[in-house]
Structure 1
Amino acid sequence: MSKARKVTISKITIGIDEEIIYNHEGDEPQRKVKTLVKKTETVGVKLPQSGYLTNLGLVFPAKDLRDSEGVLPRSRTAFPMYGVSGFTTTASLYKIEYYLTVRAHLTSARDITIRQPIVVCPLDHAGCKEEMEAIEQAARDAAHVNLDNPMLPLPSIIRPSDPNALNYLGVALVGNQKKPLID
């Protein structure tokens, strides 16, 4: 305990690291780490028995959408207008991960480093749910597309002996007459 009383926190460094992992087929995955932003705060306080608590803020860097003349590009519906430099993703050929790295530089003791994975996304939780629902609906709609001619519906085979054959065609038998089926 006498040694622990001599420990001084000299500075605390926090940063956000971007790690890109390339999975080449047949090769070992290749990792590239880039520090996006880093902030250091000088503390110079002896470590109290209850521990040291501080709040440090760090803003995730965003990409500026303006060109060299300061003009914003015309917006297109397929591309969002908010700027973001990246987002967490996982694919078969590459994976992008972000880490919050906190390092406490101590005197009379070893430095403490914590590397915590974080999820980066330009949307909040509700926005992500809306986007995922839209993607799922588009996938369901795409299942009914004829690949040979996208303008035509998928072909369906209706056998004459099928009791629901008229329903598939959108026709109902009313008395002895065939009339359009209305759901």
Structure 2
Amino acid sequence: MDNIVSLVISLPKWSYGPMDPITVYIKVAPNPDWPAKARKVTVKSITLAIEEEITYNPEGDEPTKKVNRLQKHVQSVGMKLPEEGYVTNMGVIFPHKDLRDSNGIVRRGQPAFPNYEVTSFTTTSTLYKIEFFLSIKASMTSARDITLRQPIVICPLDHQACKEEMEAIEQAAKDASSVDQTNPMLPAGNIVLASDDNALAALGLCLVGGQKKPLIE
């Protein structure tokens, strides 16, 4: 907050993944205690950026930080600050790492170092810590520029991958609910012999006119 104006932001959610849109509600408001000075303020531009901050040796005596700017969007405003304040919505897309080059070709990876489409994500360990921030900067005349950094959580999986993982977790939870907690042993194996009646049903098949067909229950 400047002594003449204030910068207020609002996020609908805090966690994002690759290719997720990030929309921010932004308001630059005049200080009601300084109306005369606030009327002289001009909002030049607002910058929205995604920053990756890596802290090496975070638990050590001399941690070091490195900040990488992953995405940036600048909105030119160029208008006097209204009495009710300047309000806007800005958005960026969280980038997805693509292994293809400018010609759309994926380089052949070395056997010891295969290529994986994995972007960095929010994590903390003894050797390093990775954090992500939304940086919002309001550039003005007749008032100091204001910058806010809002922490966000980044997941390495996109929306579809998260959905598939959740389905697998739900199925595993259903399977686990049938296990006796006092005696958590695996159920006895069910052996189906080829000579058993409806043995093909165990494979999802049935005989129709002497031919094996998918079984539809």
Structure 1 length-normalised TM: 0.59
1:143 counterpart residue number: none
1:127 aligns with 2:162: yes
CA radius of gyration, larger in: 1
Q: CA deviation at 1:37?
A: 1.4
- Tell whether the 8 Å contact from 1:61 to 1:84 is kept in structure 2 after alignment: no
Q: Tell whether 2:72 aligns with 1:38.
A: yes
| Aligned residues of 2:51 and 2:133 also touching (Cα < 8 A) | yes
Correspondence for 1:97? 131
Identity %: 53
1:16 maps to 2:50 = yes
Instruction: Report the CA distance between 1:70 and its aligned residue.
Output: 3.0
Q: In structure 1, what residue type is equivalent to 2:150?
A: Q
- Verify the 8 A CA contact 1:10 1:105 in the aligned structure 2: yes
Specify the SS of the correspondent of 1:53: strand
Instruction: Tell me what 2:40 maps to.
Output: 6
Q: Give me the whole-angstrom Cα distance separating, in 1, the residues matched to 2:127 and 2:101.
A: 31
The one-letter amino acid of 1:39's match is H
- Tell me: higher relative CO, structure 1 or 2? Use CA pairs within 8 A at least 6 residues apart: 2
In 2: Cα distance, 1:70 partner to 1:119 partner: 30
Q: Distance in 1 between matches of 2:168 and 2:135?
A: 30
Gaps of 5+ in 2: 1-34, 109-113, 174-187, 189-217
Q: What's 1:107 paired with? A: 141
Could you tell me which runs of 5 or more consecutive residues in structure 1 were left unpaired when the two chains were aligned.
138-169, 171-183
Q: Going by fraction, where is strand more abundant, 1 or 2?
A: 2
Q: Give the match's secondary structure for 2:73.
A: strand
**Under a length normalisation based on structure 2, what TM-score does the superposition of the two structures give?**
0.51
Offset of residue 130 of structure 1: 3.0
- How far apart, CA to CA, are the structure 2 residues paired with 1:57 and 1:84? 23
In the comparison of the two structures, how many residue pairs are matched? Answer: 134
1:61 to 95, 101, 106: 95
Q: Distance in 1 between matches of 2:131 and 2:78?
A: 33
Q: 1:67 to 1:8 in 2, by over 3 A?
A: closer
After superposition, the CA RMSD in angstroms is 3.6
